[in-house]
Structure 1
């Protein structure tokens, strides 16, 4: 029954009740409580996770294991599609898993989630990613020409190839993020992807710094290539592009 506020005895009885955070069901205590307010036998985390430096180390190891696992899956997915038909679906599936990791909700079933996304998005990823191959072929031809040309023309060609390669790298990472975020036709998708480095130069430069750092690390320690050579740029570069797209979406809303 409702408590009558005029009843002084009822008010004293209510204020005498123990606090909720110190009691269990039916007002019973859940166990001895230390001065910090934790029940006996609890850890630093509220969900039973290990706290302190050990918890931080375990968290880092989980992230590293996740990144290495996604890297291996992207390589397998690329090979499963004989490279040409496997690269874009593998990047799409791997990028989605790494985006979840960056958002703090990593997949607990990497193998199943990767291949499920790979199969369901195979056609769309290859359709939207079709221009990647002719652009990549053009870059390869230009790079081969630079190696045989001498004199001032070689410097001009090298600068052109470097600029085109930088744009292509940023555009590819942007494409992976756009494919998972939006459902647009190929024409509109590539107009946005092609202009993104010009419209967001700060993000483009940050992505290039990430790619350069990963490239130098792999050159210095080649074993990193098959471990994180693809997943790490997808994770860091994808996070940078996602943050910029979040800003653009907020402005257009």
Structure 2
């Protein structure tokens, strides 16, 4: 993560402190905006636009060009992407509902081979949905002009065709989950923004490599 030109101009330790403060402030602010944006859309309709808008701001932060108007830029991206991101996220919503149903069945199932097989299926579905969601956010941002059907086809197969990136995302989430478990004060501050930042950066690296290969 690089600093902006204004921050570098300060120089020395003071400049580094300013960079860390700015990054920390934006992480906390974007985390709050994602929560508010999700609630503003009634959760179901607000989650994908909020994640998309937050992911766009975090991508700028990671690229060294943080937004100067976080509030305005978030809600502009939220409004502009509301319909498209909900269309793109609809298959994932169905997947999460299926996961919830399977988890309920698993909780009621008795011990035995059937329960073991169902456990494997539930875990596999959860892993796939998490990676697909992590992929959807940067893909929707980078390829805003691509039709929804084509975008979703790519997102649907990306977790399987990019296993190293998928593994990196899962490992990062696992590390963050352990960290948040022991440092619970971080959860309300950056519990959404940091995973969104890390997963977005990992997926962006893979997308950049694919774009370079296709050029």
State TM-score, norm by structure 1.
Answer: 0.78
Query: The residue matched to 2:10 in structure 1 has which SS?
Result: coil
Query: The residue matched to 1:63 in structure 2 has which SS?
Result: helix
| Aligned residues of 2:165 and 2:202 also touching (Cα < 8 A) | yes
The 2-side partners of 1:159 and 1:93 are apart by 34
CA RMSD of aligned residues (A): 1.7
The 1-side partners of 2:60 and 2:7 are apart by 21
What's 1:153 paired with?
Answer: 114
**Is 1:100 paired with 2:60?**
yes
Query: The residue matched to 2:24 in structure 1 has which SS?
Result: helix
What's 1:112 paired with?
Answer: 72
- Compute the displacement of 1:189 (Å): 1.3
- Compute the displacement of 1:214 (Å): 1.7
The 1-side partners of 2:208 and 2:184 are apart by 35
What's 1:243 paired with?
Answer: 205
- Compute the displacement of 1:127 (Å): 1.3
**Is 1:179 paired with 2:179?**
no
Higher helix share: 2
**Is 1:142 paired with 2:111?**
no
- Aligned positions of 1:21-100 closer than 5 A: 49-100=9-60
Deviation track 1:4-31 (CA, whole Å, cap 9, x = no partner) reads xxxxxxxxxxxxxxxxxxxxxxxxxxxx
Q: Per the alignment, do residues 158 and 179 of structure 1 end up closer, same or farther by CA in structure 2, a change over 3 Å counting?
A: same
Gaps of 5+ in 1: 1-44
- Compute the displacement of 1:90 (Å): 0.4
- Compute the displacement of 1:47 (Å): 7.5
- Compute the displacement of 1:46 (Å): 8.8
Moved segments of 4+, more than 6 Å:
45-48
- Compute the displacement of 1:130 (Å): 1.2
**Is 1:197 paired with 2:155?**
no
Gaps of 5+ in 2: none
